[in-house]
Amino acid sequence: MTDNAETTAGPDDDALALAHTLFQGAREGNTELLRAYLEAGAPATLTNSAGDSLLMLAAYHGHVDAVQLILHHGAEANTANDRGQTPLAGAAFKGYTDVARALLDAGADPDAGSPSARAAAQMFARQEILDLLG
């Protein structure tokens, strides 16, 4: 009789591990990793349990190259997380002007979400971003 107590990673475990890798890549701005997976078919619209998308994480952490890559692969610039925050509002909150510009170029709405990017820029005196928003 053999002991079958060994566990192997199943498809769900593999999918969760891949998602974790992609979310971490977005946080770190690891464009090489993101490009490889996105070109292989990973969804650019992937969200975590809080509704944060790859785009939201890349924008919030100030990685303009990753933001542009994720947008190029089909992410929607205005997708809000479960708290109603958009990637543009995250960039405005953190003061990432280059990220805000990339999101605006992709059609991000400065008045979408709660708080909106415009409101966040006003709250945190992000004048450069307010100038971009017009």
Mean pLDDT of the chain: 92
Tell me whether residue 3 is in a domain. Answer: no
| pLDDT range class, residue 10, cuts 50, 70, 90 | low
Tell me whether residue 27 is in a domain. Answer: yes
Tell me whether residue 5 is in a domain. Answer: no
| pLDDT range class, residue 64, cuts 50, 70, 90 | very high
Tell me whether residue 35 is in a domain. Answer: yes
| pLDDT range class, residue 15, cuts 50, 70, 90 | confident
Global pTM value: 0.89
Buried b (16+ CB within 10 A) or exposed e, 72-95: ebebbbbbbbeeebbbbbbbbbbb
pLDDT score of 124 more than 90: yes
Tell me the per-residue pLDDT of 83-96, one tens digit each, with 9 for 90 and over: 999 999 999 999 99
pLDDT of residue 110: 98
Tell me whether residue 53 is in a domain. Answer: yes
Tell me whether residue 37 is in a domain. Answer: yes
Q: What is the distance between the terminal CA atoms of the chain, rounded to a whole angstrom?
A: 73
Number of domains in the chain: 1
Tell me whether residue 116 is in a domain. Answer: yes
Tell me the per-residue pLDDT of 68-83, one tens digit each, with 9 for 90 and over: 999 999 999 999 999 9
Tell me whether residue 66 is in a domain. Answer: yes
Check which CATH number belongs to the domain holding 72 and give it: 1.25.40.20
Domain that holds residue 46: 12-133
